[in-house]
Amino acid sequence: MCGNNMSAPLPAIVPAARKATAAVIFLHGLGDTGHGWAEAFEGIRIPHVKYICPHAPTMPVSLNMRMSMPSWFDIYGLSPEAEEDEAGIKRASENVKAMIDQEVKNGIPSHRILLGGFSQGGALSLYTALTSQQKLAGVVALSCWLPLRKSFPQAAANSPNKDMHVLQCHGDSDPLVPFVFGAQTAEKMKSLINPANVTFKSYRGLPHSACPEEMIDIKRFIEKQLPALSDE
């Protein structure tokens, strides 16, 4: 990886216990890697689902005094008014769309692929799903926000995902991405896709992290959106 900021190691993968007929692509948060989330999904795995947890490239991050760390795009601030790295967000989104294309080539149709992420990764998963031309199974968005929200609804004008299901989860004691920012994001999502398909769940006392109750909710959501095929 040294010397090449755009390179990143191969994703952490939890293979399906039998033939994979569905996939979850889950994007970690700022400064993290995919390994921890792969372990979390091992704990709630569904036999026909493959879990792909890619690692972000390393780059300097303005929010953290330009220190280099794994990041999908640059972050200047974590408030609704903060300036945003538009070029970086769009570039990262194209990379995620390429991952979706790769799974389609591997034999899993896009409508059997669910996007997800935590914090910065959740933000990128929401943006990617709304701007993708691939019809997706849905999105699991944890402790996050919708990036470049002022570019919507125009950016999602031709989206095939207007009826996708979204599970948004947020701790009500989040000191990094304020709970109200998550709640505002859910309202924005309801204006962009079928509002009946947007579920916003809050978790009492949860800071900027995940919890066992949330992981159970995620498993139930994945089971509903990516059911086993009739011949499995």
For 50-91, how does the pLDDT look when each residue is reduced to its tens digit (9 = 90+)? 999 999 999 999 999 999 999 999 999 888 888 999 999 999
Residue 170 lies in a domain: yes
Residue 123 lies in a domain: yes
Determine the Cα–Cα distance for residues 112 and 97; give it in Å rounded to an integer.
14
For residue 120, the enclosing domain spans 10-223
Residue 5 lies in a domain: no
pLDDT tens-digit series, residues 106-148: 999 999 999 999 999 999 999 999 999 999 999 999 999 999 9
Whether residue 174 lies in the annotated active site: yes
What percentage of the chain reaches a pLDDT higher than 70? 96
Residue 230's pLDDT is 74
Q: What is the mean pLDDT of the chain?
A: 94
Whether residue 111 lies in the annotated active site: no
Residue 232: pLDDT band with limits 50, 70, 90: low
Residue 152's pLDDT is 92
Catalytic residue among 28, 55, 170, 208: 208
Question: Considering only CA atoms, which of 216, 152, 219 is closest in space to residue 190?
Answer: 152
**CATH assignment of the domain containing 187:** 3.40.50.1820
Q: Long-range contacts for 130-133 (Cβ within 8 Å, ≥24 apart)?
A: 130/155, 130/156, 130/159, 130/161, 130/192, 130/193, 131/93, 131/155, 131/156, 131/159, 132/97, 132/100, 132/159, 132/160, 132/161, 133/158, 133/160
Residue 230 lies in a domain: no
Q: Which two tokens stand for residue 154?
A: 């125009």
Residue 206 lies in a domain: yes
Q: Is the dihedral of CA 173, 174, 180, 186 positive or negative?
A: negative
Residue 1 lies in a domain: no
Q: In what order do the strands lie in the sheet with 198-203?
A: 12-14, 49-53, 22-27, 113-118, 138-142, 165-171, 198-203
Residue 93's pLDDT is 97
Q: Which letter, b or e, does each residue of 88-103 get, where b requires 16 or more Cβ atoms within 10 Å of its Cβ?
A: bbbebbebbbebbeeb
Residue 232 lies in a domain: no
Catalytic residue among 71, 110, 119, 143: 119
At residue 2, does pLDDT exceed 70? Answer: no
Whether residue 208 lies in the annotated active site: yes
Residue 142's pLDDT is 98
Q: How many domains does the chain have?
A: 1
Residue 231 lies in a domain: no
